[in-house]
Amino acid sequence: MSIQRITERLRQIEAQYHQIVAKMSDPGVASDPDTFQKLAKQHRDLEPIVQAFQIYRSMETERDEYEQILNDPESDAEWVALAEAELPPLKRKLETQVLELQRLLLPKDDRDGKNVILEIRAGTGGEEAALFAGEMYRAYSRFAEQQGWRVSTMSVSETGIGGLKEVTAVVEGKDVFSKLKYESGTHRVQRVPQTETQGRVHTSAITVAVLPEAQNIDIDLDENDLRVDRFRSSGAGGQHVNTTDSAIRITHIPTGIVVSCQDEKSQIKNREKAMRVLRAHLYELKEREQQEKIAAERKSQVGSGDRSEKIRTYNFPQGRVTDHRIKFTLYQLDAFMNGAMDEMIRACRAFFEAQRIQEQLAAGT
């Protein structure tokens, strides 16, 4: 997308924005809650774009003034010196602002505002992988707490020494999927296991799946396609949980997807939670099929939800965590495992948004 096309599109958005502001000031519109809320949402969506465009134009005006000074042979020497000093950094800021405008003009991901079904499973590495799965679940839970989100465990399978074979949870809050969507994949850990007597570093792996939670309107479910099994819960949970058939397992017959929930004492509540997980899986399947039809070559981990790719390595002896997709390393592993994930998540988001911008430029849209 050329700067001329970007500017043209931004002027259209700015005009639309001012029209919305004018409508919101109309007493007739203000008295209609539905119309007003719709306009208010459009206003919130467009405001960051308009503000960024205003900053760009202000910087552009400043650049033109400096260039005029440098091109005028009668310019005062002090003004020329100022222009020579200020113009290069200003041009770099303008380039950065153009990238920000391109990012803001990217098509919105409708899933960004959704809650998330988080699934973590131990992979290769036996007990060590299960221990790391538990540590990563705690790390994500702490990050969620820092964001003001709520994490509800739906099902968990524990090992004897505190590890997790697998855990499923719902993460609820503002823009959860937009921040966690690049976490899906295989996470590899390198460290000396607790059971290793000779101090050798072992490599284990877990898989993380981040699924946008589907609403009833997203997925139509036919009850005839479901097989529901009831069974006795296992693991921690109290006497009642362990002695009644309150746990629920639901199989979606057409796809073979199986989900379960044993976190609640009530069959009804467990069924409701299991259905949330099932809808998320079916929603992900639907999205993946659509993406594969649009562009088969883009069936990457981030685009499709395929969890077979190694995306990140956690090296405990060196205290570092590396994301292999974006070639980014943090030497703050202890802090990361205590929920300080912001820097890594921002880096992933910036990388994949820049990738989308390049795809737009290549397509000329």
Residue ranges of domains in the chain: 3-104, 112-213+311-365, 215-292
Residue range 20-37: average pLDDT? 90
Tell me the pLDDT band of 290, cut-offs 50, 70 and 90.
Answer: low
112-213+311-365: in CATH 3.40.710.10: no
Helix, strand or coil for residue 93?
helix
pTM for this model (two decimals): 0.67
Contact 56, 98 (CB under 8 A): yes
In this predicted model, what pLDDT tens digit does every residue of 68-110 receive, in sequence order?
A: 999 999 999 999 999 999 999 999 999 889 888 888 888 778 8
Q: How confident is the model at residue 341 (pLDDT cuts 50, 70, 90)?
A: very high
pLDDT tens column, 190-238: 998 876 666 788 899 999 999 888 765 567 778 888 898 887 666 544 4
What average pLDDT score do residues 9-34 get?
A: 91
- CA 298/CA 304 separation, integer angstroms: 8
Is the pLDDT score of 125 beyond 90?
A: no
Number of neighbouring beta carbons within 10 Å of residue 36: 15
Determine the CATH number of domain 215-292: 3.30.160.20
Closest Cα partner for 246 from 171, 155, 172, 157? Answer: 155
Of 316, 337, 4, 352, the closest CA to residue 189 belongs to 316
**Of 2 and 260, more confident:** 260
Q: What is the pLDDT of residue 304?
A: 36
Helices (H) and strands (E) in the chain, counts: 11, 11
Confidence of residue 291 (pLDDT cuts 50, 70, 90): low
